[in-house]
Amino acid sequence: MITFGLGEGPGKARFVRGMFTRIAERYDLMNALMTFGMHHSWRRAAARETIASPEGPGLDLATGTGDLAFELCEIHRYRLIVGADFAHGMLQVAE
């Protein structure tokens, strides 16, 4: 496994959380550029493949900026979907 010199444990978690918080405002643009816009079709395909129950809440762990959660709401008509992410800056963008 590649550790990028970070090792494991709380130090690595702090580094990753801080990195995603710092890039949160630019994350969606960076994703679009790095995937040449293909992430839109990948996200739609992932949302279509999920087993959905619109009566119950949906859960999107590591939701980032919430793009998959929003796609799930659109495709499956969820009444409620909860997105969770350990990088608070990403959740602020999702709001």
Quick one: three-class SS letters along the chain?
Answer: CCCCCCCCCHHHHHHHHHHHHHHHHHHHHHHHHHCCCCHHHHHHHHHHHCCCCCCCCEEEECCCCCHHHHHHHHHHCCCCEEEECCCHHHHHHHC
How does pLDDT run across 38-81, given as a tens digit for each residue?
Answer: 999 999 999 998 877 767 788 899 999 999 999 998 888 887 88
Confidence of residue 2 (pLDDT cuts 50, 70, 90): low
Query: What's the pLDDT score for residue 3?
Result: 62
Query: What's the pLDDT score for residue 60?
Result: 93
How does pLDDT run across 11-35, given as a tens digit for each residue?
Answer: 888 999 999 999 999 999 999 999 9
Query: What's the pLDDT score for residue 43?
Result: 93
